Every structure is written in structure tokens, then in C-alpha cells.
Amino acid sequence: MDRRGFVKLCTGTVLTAALSQSLRAQAEQIEACPSAKLVKADGSPLKASEIGLGEALVFAYPFNGVPCYLINLGNHTAHSQAMDSTDDGVYSNPPGVGKNNNLVAFIAICTHQLSYPTPEIAYLRYAHEGSELAGKPDRIICCAHGSIFDPAEGARVESGVAPAPLLPVALAYDAATDSLSATGIVGKAFIKRFFKNFKGELMERFGPGVYRQNVGETTKAIPLSQYSKDVPAC
Ligand code: FES
């Protein structure tokens, strides 16, 4: 997909979340993208109430080559707040969704040197049980160079060399069916940089151009431990 295609795909609408007045004063730059329903590996609907606490689920959105993490924060409720990214400016991260407002999703590409989960290895992971590096539970850890992100706080950088939060994916929750859909992102410029840096690798994995194609009406959400053969702890 060329730049025009990307812009056409993801700049149609700016979503307005239920935000406080002060946050509304910030630039709200969740780019609406074609909605994709989250399904299990076998294609059956993913029920929000079945999402466990132990690890992130990996799904592609809005393009085949962009991995994202879906996380159940358990007792933590994720609130919206003003955030700043290096590539895409100021934004307000979307609040958590689901019955307890505790389901969140982020683009699973580290903002430091763009480490991302592949079928071979995932240096970036959600550590519900805690980790040696974080010293506390419920953090996203990048073991590539030791950055820690807090998913209950918009994946802000808690410590380490990462220059910006992990970028958010907007989710919509359908209470009638207990289902989830991805509906938008922050990160248009960030994804362009990721595609540029990893073009060869992504072409090899997905096929020429396929990594830049939209995921379609559904996207499979798979536990990270099944998605990546090796998920190092640190
Ligand atoms: S790539 Fe994540 S900390 Fe360096």
C-alpha cells in the first residue's frame, strides 16, 4: 500500500472517546480504520469474558504485518489520558473496554528499536506474573534493551530507553455478543517507519505487499506463547 492508500484507509474519521474536558484540549488522533472483529485461531468468535490474565493475545491490525497485543488487566481499569509519541504527536489513549473496562490493546512494536513479536521470537511481552526486570506484575517488558511499559496507563514508559509509549489500538466492545473489534489506531507515521525498516523481513514472511494489506473483517487473536516459539524472560 502506498502513502495515499494508507491515508485513505486510516484518516476517514477521528474517533471521539468519552474524555474529560482537559483531555479534549489535547489533540485526539485515534485514526479510524476499517473495523476487524477479533476471532480465535479456528475462526470462531473470541469472547471477551474468555480472555485470560496470563499473557497477551497477538493479533494483526490494521495491516497484516502489524502485530498488536490484547491484554486483560484484571482488576486494573485503564483510563484515558494525554500521551506523546515520537512519530505521531500528542494523542489521548482510548480507555479500556469490556464489562470492567480492563481490556486494552497496543501496537506490539517497541518504540525504541522496533522490536516486535515474530513466529520465531518475542522480546516484547506482557508479564502478568511479574518479571525480574520490572520487579512488579502486569507490565509490558521489552527484553531487547530493557524497557518497561505500564498497560494500565496507556503503555507509558515506566523505565528504560524507549522514547515513547507503545501506541494504542482502539477497541469496541459489543455487550450483546461479548465480542471485540479493533476500530482504529494511533501510529500512522510509526507504522510507515516500521514498514520501511523491516520491508525485506515482512515481505519474506507475508509475501510481497501482503504485509501492507488490510486485515479484512476478522483478525485472529492468538496467545503469545503459541504465536512465538521463544518468549524470553528478563
Ligand atoms: S527495542 Fe525495546 S528496548 Fe530496545
Listing DSSP states for 93-135 in one string gives: PPPPBTTTT-EEEEE-S-TTT-----SSB-SEEEETT--TTTS
Give a yes or no: residue 234 inside a domain: no
Question: What is the pLDDT at residue 123?
Answer: 98
Residue 170 lies in a domain: yes
> Does residue 88 form part of some domain?
yes
- pLDDT value, residue 81: 87
Nearest to 172 by CA among 51, 15, 67: 15
The pLDDT value recorded for residue 142 is: 98
pLDDT at 152 over 70: yes
**What's the rounded mean pLDDT across residues 65-69?**
98
Q: Confidence class of residue 187 from pLDDT cuts 50, 70 and 90?
A: very high
State residue 194 phi and psi, 5-degree precision.
Answer: -60, -45
Cβ-in-10-Å burial (0-12, 13-18, 19+) of 193 comes to middle
Say how far apart CA 170 and CA 116 lie, in whole Å.
Answer: 19
Determine the pLDDT at residue 9: 47
What is the amino acid identity at position 82?
A: A
How many angstroms does the Cα of residue 107 sit away from the middle of ligand 1? 14
Lowest-pLDDT range of 2-16, 58-72, 105-119, 136-150: 2-16
Ligand 1: centre distance to CA 17 (Å): 30
Domain count, the chain: 1
Dihedral sign from CA coordinates of 185, 46, 149, 122: negative
Between the CA of 13 and the centroid of ligand 1 the distance, in Å, is: 31
Longest dimension (CA), the chain: 46
- Residue 44 or residue 21, greater confidence: 44
Q: What is the pLDDT of residue 29?
A: 81
A 10 A CB-CB count for 56 gives 32
Range of the domain at 166: 3-224
How confident is the model over 89-134, as pLDDT tens digits?
Answer: 999 999 999 999 999 999 999 999 999 999 999 999 999 999 999 9
Report if residue 158 sits inside a domain: yes
Domain membership flag for residue 104: yes
CA-to-CA separations, 142 to 72, 176, 208, 229, in angstroms, rounded: 18, 36, 28, 16
Q: How far is the CA of 148 from the centre of ligand 1 (A)?
A: 9
Averaged pLDDT of the chain: 90
Over 80: is that where the pLDDT of 15 sits? no
Q: Judge whether residue 161 has pLDDT over 70.
A: yes
Closest atom of ligand 1 relative to the 114 alpha carbon: 1
Q: What is the pLDDT of residue 61?
A: 98
Q: Whose CA is nearest to atom 1 of ligand 1?
A: 113
Residue at 17 is within a domain? yes
Instruction: List the grid coordinates of 202.
Output: 515482512
CA-to-CA separations, 105 to 52, 57, 109, 153, 173, in angstroms, rounded = 14, 9, 12, 12, 12
d(CA 162, CA 26): 22
**Residue 110 in contact with ligand 1 by CB distance below 6 A:** yes
The CATH number linked to 163 is: 2.102.10.10
Residue 212's identity, in one-letter code, is R
149-171: average pLDDT: 97
What does the pLDDT read at residue 28? 56
pLDDT band at 77 (very low <50, low <70, confident <90, very high): confident
Mean pLDDT, rounded, for 75-91: 90
pLDDT in tens, 36-59: 999 999 999 999 999 999 999 999
Whether residue 232 lies inside any domain: the answer is no
What local confidence, expressed as pLDDT, does residue 25 receive?
37
213: in domain: yes
Share of the chain above pLDDT 70, in %: 88
Ligand 1 atom nearest to 142, measured from its CA: 2
Q: Return all residues near 43 (Cβ < 8 A) that are at least 6 apart.
A: 218, 220
Q: pLDDT digits over 27-41, tens only? A: 458 999 999 999 999
How far apart are the C-alpha atoms of 140 and 156, rounded to whole Å?
Answer: 10
